[in-house]
């Protein structure tokens, strides 16, 4: 993986472990020679990932909608800052510019980005790894819900392993680097569905 799209919160929770986790993620990616593609903001976990990656000599590409630039939320320190018209174009750029997706704790926007990466992998719009860093058990309930969708039959067995979840970043990045694509829906016949 040369670059990963990092999805995480633009907020800074009171629990300082989350910002520290984001900074460590940025440093680790830079140390491994993996560039960061992210939402282009300077606030919260997003800003911490970018700042730490840049400080460690890493590449950071920010992709941010014009409306957030107008609100003075853009991070001008990025190696490259791409300004787009809206969120759909932003998420398409994340997919086009990255070799995988790494999700850290975050809120609604982070969940939107994660589920789109999963959905697009399931369909066959991309064949890239989708990693979930379940630090501090943050995603325990989400992973249980995903398991429930699999158990009920709303997620096909071929797609049950799309989300790669680990508690430790290095282990997760190793799994993502060894990713083998599954059979997407677009490659299946009606009888397989």
Alpha-carbon distance of 192 to 46, in angstroms, equals: 40
Which tokens in the block code for residue 138? 């943050």
Residue 80's DSSP bridge partners are 61
Read off the pLDDT of residues 171-185 as tens digits, 9 standing for 90 and up.
Answer: 999 999 999 999 999
CA–CA dist 38, 64 (Å, integer): 8
Tens place of pLDDT per residue across the chain (193 aa):
999 999 999 999 999 999 999 999 999 999 999 999 999 999 999 999 999 999 999 999 999 999 999 998 999 999 999 999 999 999 999 999 999 999 999 999 999 999 999 999 999 999 999 999 999 999 999 999 999 999 999 999 999 999 999 999 999 999 999 999 999 999 988 887 7
- If you search the block for the tokens 């400080």, which residue do you land on? 55
Q: Which residues pair with 47 in a beta bridge?
A: none
Q: What is the pLDDT of residue 193?
A: 76
Report the pLDDT value the prediction gives residue 189, as an integer from 0 to 100.
Answer: 87
pLDDT attached to residue 191: 80
Q: Residue 62: its pLDDT value, please?
A: 98
Are 104 and 136 in contact, with CB atoms under 8 Å apart? no
Count Cβ atoms below 10 Å from residue 54 Cβ, excluding itself: 18
pLDDT at 147: 98
Q: In the block, which residue shows the tokens 């790494």? A: 102
CA 49 to each of CA 18, 89, 115, 158: distance values in angstroms, whole numbers, following the listed order: 11, 22, 21, 33
- What are residue 92's phi and psi, to 5 degrees? -65, -40
Taking the domains of the chain in order of start, what are their residue ranges? Answer: 3-178
With CA atoms as reference, report the closest residue to 45 among 107, 3, 101, 93. Answer: 107
- Residues with Cβ within 8 Å of 74's Cβ and at least 6 positions away in sequence, in order, are 40, 41, 42, 62, 64, 68, 81, 83
CATH code for the domain defined by 3-178: 3.40.50.450
pLDDT at 145: 98
**How far, in Å, CA of 100 to CA of 172, rounded?**
12
Return the beta strands (E) in the chain as ranges. 3-7, 35-38, 60-65, 80-84, 101-103, 130-133, 163-166
Question: Is the Cβ–Cβ distance between 112 and 8 less than 8 Å?
Answer: no
């Amino acid at each position: 993986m040369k670059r990963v799209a990092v999805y995480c919160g633009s907020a800074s929770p009171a629990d300082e472990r989350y910002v520290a986790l984001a900074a460590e993620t940025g440093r680790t990616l830079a140390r491994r020679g993996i560039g960061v593609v992210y939402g282009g903001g300077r606030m919260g976990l997003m800003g911490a990932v970018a700042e730490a990656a840049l400080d460690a000599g890493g590449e950071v590409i920010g992709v941010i909608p014009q409306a957030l630039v107008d609100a003075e939320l853009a991070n001008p320190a990025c190696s490259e800052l791409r300004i787009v018209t809206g969120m759909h174009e932003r998420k398409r750029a994340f997919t086009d510019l990255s070799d995988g997706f790494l999700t850290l704790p975050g809120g609604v926007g982070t969940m939107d980005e994660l589920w789109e990466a999963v959905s697009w992998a399931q369909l066959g719009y991309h064949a890239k790894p989708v990693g979930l860093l379940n630090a501090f058990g943050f995603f325990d309930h989400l992973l249980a819900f995903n398991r429930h969708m699999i158990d009920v039959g709303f997620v096909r067995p071929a797609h049950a392993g799309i989300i790669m979840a680990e508690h430790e970043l290095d282990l997760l990045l190793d799994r993502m680097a060894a990713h083998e694509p599954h059979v997407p829906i677009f490659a299946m016949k009606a009888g397989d569905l």
